[in-house]
Amino acid sequence: MRGSLAIEAARPQWLAGLRAATAMTVPLIVGWVARRPELIWAGLGGWLTMLSDPGGPYPTRASAMGTFALMGAAATLAGGLAGLTPWAAIPALFAFAMICSLIRVHGDTAATIGVLALTMFCITEGSPAHLADSLVRAGMFVAGSFFAILLAVAVWPFRPYHPVRAAVAASWMAVGDLAAAAAKVASSPADAAAWESLVPLRRRARDALEDAREALAVARAGRHGETGRGLHLLVLYEILELLLGDLAALLEALRARAERHEPLPPRAGEALVEISRALEAIAEALVEEGSYALAAPRLEASGDSALLFSRVEGEIRQAVESVQALRSGGAGPSPPGALSFPEEAPSLRDAFAKASTELRHALRVALVATLAQFLATALRLERSYWVTVTVVLVLQPHAIATVRRALQRAGGTVIGGLIAALIARHVREPLALGAMLFGLAWIAVSVRRINYALFAALVTPVFVLLAETNAGGGHLTRIRILDTLLGGTLALVGAIALWPTRDLERMPALIAAVLRADRAYLDAVLHGKGPAEAVAARRRVGLATANAEAALQRLIAEAMPPARIEPLMALVAYGRRLSASITALGAAPPSSEYAARLEGILDALADAAQSGAPPPPVPPLDDLPAPEPAQRLARQLRVVQSALARLG
């Protein structure tokens, strides 16, 4: 109950709410003025298409929203026709629910599109229509969807990830300030007070990193999984964690030399200046528009600090690639010589694996939604789709989040029903009613990621009053509440009875499984076991990472503090990044000694993740020559070790 009332995000998304409300109400107003009631389907298309907007680069957003427009239109047509025969509607719903639930294996955006398309199928199946009317509905839905796409992409874009980018950029700028101050100190290393002046700057850099960590965790709240932008920003945070540690170690080494009255390494001050400039350029590229020619500096230093300078250079190079990928909306540059294996991303084949959480969730949704449709048909419920839609929206891949969503949906619907009854009794003027519904829709979407119960309470009056206007009566408030309670109860029973997931304590084992899958993939690539075995090992990495992602989402649903969530986010994200670097080793393998060290590090990290013990330090690998893909993998293993250490 406490979790149902928890606040999951830092601030309302007012622009997103205003845009979604506009996309819905403009077609409704046109329909009201022109006396064309079928435009309600255009309003519904605009509303749901806005909810499918993943944000990010324009092509990505247009592609996702366009995909939903087509899937939603197909669902509108198929649902209306399937609902004409009640007993044909049940197997059709089962099949469509399986399809829409399984596509979540492709990530957060696909999961959202699947849920919304299934919602549209349930709505139209509960209000069937013959072919001509169903085609009109589908056409209206597409029209409303493309109005929403035009509004979101061309007319009214906004940047919901800007606060996270600003927080991550501030942390890079703070470390850049530390490097700039250290460069000045290096010009007069004998001044002990000058070295002491760096301490507050290090503390400020650490505080900025903590702010960025919290911003990353808040941005993840309320999402099914990590977005592309969120992943790049998380990677930039993790790189900076390592870079700050290496920079601090470098400054301590330089200070120790100064205290022993030994000269600093040649060009140490110049190298620190180059580091500062590179870090500041990265920070500016994160938040500023325009073209930035980012490049990692070539740091020339000798002596006992050469290794640390080399590490910092490699970390900056990795950060430059991530910033370029973030700004371009891509996945980043491919490592030199990377092999192109068929299964580079999770696929439906992964979803059908025996231990797949996604397959179990798809079966759970299909079975419970089908049962809900059967009961609604048998009981001859007037708005049967409210039962099935509640099941679809409440059921989550894990039981704890399902219980929370059921409480939020039921409580919000009851409160929203009471609000709808008050509005229907006291507001008679159509213009005033339309303005009130617009305001409720605006606020509802704005607070959707803050608390779902509040969203349900605000959006319920909108759809109840629209339905009552078309029905010509004022009796649907009670029906909406009862149908929601029935659907929520069925979802709870399904979550508890069908493959319940009560394995939050298994998170360490799931992380260990990801690392061991990466270890097996590394073995397949390095020892030439053939493309077929390498592809199979890569697929096992995808399955293990997908299961760890589901467990991570359970912890996020528990409103865990950011300090606990962020290391897990990094470990799940780097599970796939490790496999991408391993792929590149097939074309540029390291020496047998270097490969053996990599395998030993992965084994040790997996054992530490399984046992919960502090991970051992990653031994230095800089004493052996290695191609860039192997060096990249070594840097990523240091990130994994750092995340495991923070988790403990």
The model's pLDDT over 461-513, given as tens digits with 9 standing for 90+, comes to 888 777 655 545 556 678 888 898 999 999 989 988 887 765 455 678 888 99
Confidence of residue 592 (pLDDT cuts 50, 70, 90): confident
In this predicted structure, the answer to whether residue 294 has a pLDDT above a threshold of 70 is: no
Distance CA 136, CA 116 (A): 20
pLDDT of res. 558: 55
Q: Which amino acid is at 13?
A: Q
Picking from 295, 321, 285, 348, the residue whose alpha carbon sits closest to that of residue 581 is 321
Domains in the chain: boundaries = 3-159+353-497, 162-328, 503-647
Q: Tokens at residue 202, please?
A: 């290090």
pLDDT of res. 330: 54
More confident residue, 175 or 554: 175
Q: Map residue 643 onto helix, strand or coil.
A: helix
In the chain, the largest separation of any two C-alpha atoms, in whole Å, equals 90
pLDDT of res. 133: 94
Range picked from 353-362, 418-427, 488-497 for highest mean pLDDT: 488-497
Q: Map residue 415 onto helix, strand or coil.
A: helix
The model's pTM is 0.67
In this predicted structure, the answer to whether residue 220 has a pLDDT above a threshold of 90 is: no
Q: Tokens at residue 467, please?
A: 């339905």
Confidence of residue 14 (pLDDT cuts 50, 70, 90): confident
pLDDT of res. 335: 38
Residues 6+ positions from 516 with CB-CB distance below 8 Å: 544, 602, 606
More confident residue, 602 or 308: 602
pLDDT of res. 501: 60
The dihedral built from the CA positions of residue 636, 638, 643 and 644, taken in this order, carries a sign that is positive
Q: How many other β-carbons are positioned within 10 Å of the β-carbon of residue 56? A: 19
Q: What share of the chain is helix, strand, coil (3-state, %, to 5)?
A: 75, 0, 25
The dihedral built from the CA positions of residue 636, 638, 641 and 642, taken in this order, carries a sign that is negative
In this predicted structure, the answer to whether residue 338 has a pLDDT above a threshold of 50 is: no
| Mean of pLDDT over the chain | 81
In this predicted structure, the answer to whether residue 429 has a pLDDT above a threshold of 80 is: no
Q: How deeply is 25 buried, as exposed, middle or buried, from its count of CB atoms within 10 A (0-12, 13-18, 19+)?
A: buried
Q: Map residue 296 onto helix, strand or coil.
A: coil
Dump pLDDT digits (tens) for 68-93: 999 999 999 999 999 998 788 899 99
Least-confidence region, from 172-181, 541-550, 597-606: 541-550
Dump pLDDT digits (tens) for 515-533: 999 999 898 888 877 777 8
Least-confidence region, from 92-96, 259-263, 639-643: 259-263
DSSP at 337? T
Distance CA 250, CA 174 (A): 17
Average pLDDT over residues 634-647: 87
Confidence of residue 344 (pLDDT cuts 50, 70, 90): very low
Q: How many other β-carbons are positioned within 10 Å of the β-carbon of residue 275? A: 27
pLDDT of res. 442: 92
In this predicted structure, the answer to whether residue 336 has a pLDDT above a threshold of 90 is: no
Q: How many other β-carbons are positioned within 10 Å of the β-carbon of residue 132? A: 8
Residues 6+ positions from 125 with CB-CB distance below 8 Å: 79, 80, 82, 83, 89, 92, 93, 373, 385, 388
pLDDT of res. 603: 92
pLDDT of res. 339: 37
Q: How many other β-carbons are positioned within 10 Å of the β-carbon of residue 524? A: 22
Let me know how long the chain is: 648
